[in-house]
């Protein structure tokens, strides 16, 4: 096919059905993927607006635009939206669905109808969470962690919000078991485990974490609801319960959950970097294996969120030690990416810039994580803005930037059109600059002792806080440019052609946008995912 033309028919139109119901009841993985992309990304934008409001409040000491209670509610909703409505379902739901089946040479996922059900559960859960903001005692104000005893006593609408999150958890479990089954059963002929693209490997590890960890979150949330509705008192020290048990149960889920957030991002980066360095990835086996190692070791380190909770000293030591172990597979990945770049012929297009900034931002986030993972230093910076800076570096600088990278890398495939390159670079530069001004400042503030989750602070923190807020505006400006550019390009831009970047994975062998059945005939895989000798240069 002439690369300068769009194919006449694709999954956008070849079923002859394009009304809204043909989308929200579609069982095609590409349509479901786009549904996920639009819903999760809309929530991301909502979260960003809330974050910007938080930053405006912190622009100057004292009350700026809101009082204490509003601030408490806003950071809670910001956290809940970002974590449960965007980042956890976002990557597997959107790009996992869009790309993974094609990358393994399959027609669809193993259980397409279950896949649709997952999306519906997600939307239902999200609707319940949104309802909780406007009904009952008003938006929850507990922080996204729903810690007892406050979460069982506050009059705000925690019960409903928790129930919404419970429903979303169900959706995550179904996605997880769907993906594991798909990757085991539906690989095309010749697609051995050693030829799987690294994005698929990372989704495989992610899916296992979703399966193994989410049920614990579910039962924990059920317990919070039971405390509130029935008064079981299982976490109430006055009645024989132990609030610490809540923290254990919560983090048994929620720490592995941060690997649900970061692993797919690492997978995208492992796919992007070799393509733009035009070199086979360095240490394929180690990158694949380290995903599994992160998933496994990451399940044993939840206690590092609880160093100051009054847990026993032995437990603190053990958890601290295990936490350092997780750093090893993460570092393996970073070294391998850097080694892939070495002597590559690097082309700095938008996806690559996001990938490179991922490496830097994730490293900053990861290394500051070690400061928190070491019990002795953690005691000083626990619950300060240092922590806020740390997890934004990992979740936003890491997963968020990887998500943007994935949008620039893969969306031309699914829309068949390209965005303009220059505005994409400007947007990236603004976001990268703004991001660091915003969050590096927060880490410094934390070191100086500014606690998190307060709407007010001592006057000596003023100037840095102002700087952080200005950083958040630069970041937001970059994001606006990025979105406008993506949107315009995907709708009206130049046709992308089948393989705009010269990738060697299977999705680049079919037309852009792909037809509903993906491959005209079942592909037979003969070369590895990063073997560029077989693909023409772009």
Partner 1 sequence: MSNTEHHDYFGAKLGMWLFLFTELLLFGGLFLLYAVYFKRYPEEFAAGGRQLDWVLGTVNTLILLTSSLFAAMAVTAVQRSEQRRSMALIGGTVLCAAGFLVIKYVEWSAKISHGIYPGAERLKSGDPGESVFFGLYYLTTGLHGLHVLIGGILLVWIAVKVKNGAVTADNGILLENGALYWHLVDLIWIFIFPLYYLML
User: Where does this chain bind partner 1 (CB under 8 A)?
Assistant: 105-112, 114, 173, 176-178, 180-181, 184-188, 211-212, 214-216, 218-220, 222-223, 226, 230-234, 238-242, 245, 249, 517, 519, 521-522
Partner touching 388 among partner 1, ligand HEM, none, CB below 5 to 8 Å by kind: ligand HEM
The verdict on 381 binding ligand HEM (CB under 6 A) reads no
Q: How far is the CB of 205 from partner 1 (least distance, A)?
A: 15
| CA atoms within a 13 Å half-sphere pointing along the CA-CB vector of 182 | 32
How far is residue 162's CA from residue 412's CA, in Å, rounded to a whole number? 37
Partner touching 82 among partner 1, ligand HEM, none, CB below 5 to 8 Å by kind: ligand HEM
Cis peptide bond upstream of 513, omega within 30: yes
Q: How many CB atoms lie within 10 A of CB 119?
A: 23
Site for ligand HEM in 449-488 (CB under 6 A): 452-453, 472, 475-476
- Tokens coding 78: 């910001």
The contact mask relative to ligand HEM for 129-168 (x = CB under 6 A, - = no) is --------------xx------------------------
Residue with structure tokens 């429903």?
167
The verdict on 305 binding ligand HEM (CB under 6 A) reads no
Q: Could you tell me if 140 and 159 are in contact, meaning their C-beta atoms sit under 8 angstroms apart?
A: no
- Tokens coding 512: 């852009």
Q: For the CA atoms of 10, 14, 15, 16, what is the dihedral angle to 10 degrees?
A: 130
The contact mask relative to ligand HEM for 203-222 (x = CB under 6 A, - = no) is --------------------
Q: How far is the CB of 93 from ligand HEM (least distance, A)?
A: 14
Partner touching 59 among ligand HEM, partner 1, none, CB below 5 to 8 Å by kind: none
Pick from 10, 11, 51, 204: which binds ligand HEM (CB under 6 A)? 51
Using alpha carbons, select from 34, 37, 55, 38 the residue that is nearest to residue 476.
Answer: 55
Which residues fall within 8 angstroms of residue 496, CB to CB, at 6 or more apart?
Answer: 412, 413, 415, 416, 417, 418, 512
Partner touching 453 among ligand HEM, partner 1, none, CB below 5 to 8 Å by kind: ligand HEM
Partner touching 48 among partner 1, ligand HEM, none, CB below 5 to 8 Å by kind: ligand HEM
* Phi-psi map region of 334: left, alpha, beta (phi>0 left; psi -120 to 50 alpha): alpha
Choice between 88 and 353, CB closer to ligand HEM: 88
Q: How far is the CB of 299 from ligand HEM (least distance, A)?
A: 20
- Tokens coding 302: 């939840």
How far is residue 261's CA from residue 392's CA, in Å, rounded to a whole number? 12
Site for ligand HEM in 397-456 (CB under 6 A): 400, 452-453
Q: How far is the CB of 22 from partner 1 (least distance, A)?
A: 20
Choice between 133 and 281, CB closer to ligand HEM: 133
The verdict on 89 binding ligand HEM (CB under 6 A) reads no
Partner touching 178 among partner 1, ligand HEM, none, CB below 5 to 8 Å by kind: partner 1
* Phi-psi map region of 502: left, alpha, beta (phi>0 left; psi -120 to 50 alpha): left
The verdict on 395 binding ligand HEM (CB under 6 A) reads yes
Residue nearest ligand HEM, CB atom distance: 51
| 187, 222, 239, 309 from 242: Cα distances, Å | 47, 16, 9, 12
Partner touching 249 among ligand HEM, partner 1, none, CB below 5 to 8 Å by kind: partner 1
Choice between 47 and 125, CB closer to ligand HEM: 47
How far is residue 289's CA from residue 131's CA, in Å, rounded to a whole number? 42
Cα end-to-end span (Å), the chain: 14
Choice between 111 and 473, CB closer to partner 1: 111
Count of residues in contact with ligand HEM, rule CB under 6 A: 26
Partner touching 503 among partner 1, ligand HEM, none, CB below 5 to 8 Å by kind: none
- Tokens coding 76: 């809670």
How far is residue 338's CA from residue 361's CA, in Å, rounded to a whole number? 14
Q: How far is the CB of 190 from partner 1 (least distance, A)?
A: 12
How far is residue 523's CA from residue 535's CA, in Å, rounded to a whole number? 16
Using alpha carbons, select from 46, 117, 115, 31 the residue that is nearest to residue 80.
Answer: 46
How far is residue 411's CA from residue 499's CA, in Å, rounded to a whole number? 12
Pick from 79, 241, 256, 329: which binds ligand HEM (CB under 6 A)? 79
The span of 11-19, 361-369, 388-396, 521-529 binding ligand HEM (CB under 6 A) equals 388-396
Residue 495 DSSP SS3: strand
The verdict on 76 binding ligand HEM (CB under 6 A) reads yes
Residues that bind ligand HEM (CB under 6 A): 47-48, 51-52, 54-55, 75-76, 78-79, 82-83, 86-87, 143-144, 388, 392, 395-396, 400, 452-453, 472, 475-476
């Amino acid at each position: 096919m002439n690369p300068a033309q769009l194919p006449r028919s694709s999954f956008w139109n070849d079923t002859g059905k394009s009304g809204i119901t043909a989308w929200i009841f579609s069982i095609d993985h590409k349509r479901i993927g786009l549904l996920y992309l639009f819903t999760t990304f809309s929530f991301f934008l909502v979260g960003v607006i809330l974050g910007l409001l938080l930053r405006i409040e912190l622009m100057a000491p004292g009350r700026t635009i809101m009082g204490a209670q509003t601030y408490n509610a806003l950071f809670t909703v910001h956290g809940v939206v970002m974590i449960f409505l965007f980042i956890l379902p976002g990557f597997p739901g959107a790009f996992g669905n869009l790309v993974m089946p094609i990358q393994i040479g399959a027609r669809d996922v193993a259980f397409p109808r279950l896949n649709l059900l997952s999306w519906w559960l997600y939307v239902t859960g999200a609707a319940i969470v949104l309802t909780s903001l406007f009904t009952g005692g008003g938006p929850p104000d507990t922080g996204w962690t729903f810690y007892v005893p406050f979460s069982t006593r506050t009059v705000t609408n925690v019960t409903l919000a928790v129930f919404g999150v419970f429903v979303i958890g169900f959706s995550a479990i179904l996605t997880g078991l769907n993906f594991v089954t798909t990757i085991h059963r539906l690989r095309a002929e010749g697609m051995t485990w050693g030829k799987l693209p690294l994005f698929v490997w990372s989704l495989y590890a992610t899916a296992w974490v979703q399966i193994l960890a989410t049920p614990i979150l579910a039962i924990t949330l059920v317990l919070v609801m039971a405390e509130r509705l029935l008064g079981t008192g299982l976490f109430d020290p006055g009645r024989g319960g132990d609030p610490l048990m809540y923290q254990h149960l919560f983090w048994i889920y929620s720490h592995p959950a941060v690997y649900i957030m970061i692993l797919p991002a690492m997978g995208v980066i492992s796919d992007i970097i070799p393509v733009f360095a035009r070199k086979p990835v360095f240490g394929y086996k180690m990158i694949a294996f380290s995903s599994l190692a992160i998933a496994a070791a990451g399940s044993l380190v939840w206690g590092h969120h609880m160093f100051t909770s009054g847990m026993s000293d032995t437990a603190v030591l053990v958890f601290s030690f295990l936490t350092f172990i997780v750093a090893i597979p993460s570092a393996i990945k970073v070294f391998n990416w850097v080694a892939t770049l070495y002597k590559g012929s690097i082309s700095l297009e938008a996806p690559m810039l996001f990938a490179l900034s991922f490496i830097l931002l994730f490293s900053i986030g990861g290394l500051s994580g070690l400061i928190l993972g070491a019990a002795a230093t953690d005691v000083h910076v626990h619950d300060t803005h240092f922590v806020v800076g740390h997890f934004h570096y990992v979740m936003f600088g890491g997963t968020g930037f990887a998500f943007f990278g994935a949008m620039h890398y893969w969306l031309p495939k699914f829309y068949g059109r390209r965005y303009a390159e220059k505005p994409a670079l400007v947007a990236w530069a603004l976001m990268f600059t703004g991001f660091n001004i915003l969050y590096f400042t927060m880490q410094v503030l934390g070191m100086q002792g500014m606690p998190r989750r307060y709407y007010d602070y001592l006057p000596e923190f003023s100037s840095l806080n102002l700087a952080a807020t200005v950083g958040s505006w630069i970041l937001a400006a970059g994001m606006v440019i990025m979105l406008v550019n993506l949107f315009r390009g995907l709708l009206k831009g130049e046709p992308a052609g089948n393989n705009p970047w010269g990738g060697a994975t299977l999705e680049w062998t079919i037309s852009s946008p792909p037809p509903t059945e993906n491959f005209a005939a079942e592909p037979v895989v003969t070369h590895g995912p990063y073997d560029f000798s077989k693909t023409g240069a772009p």
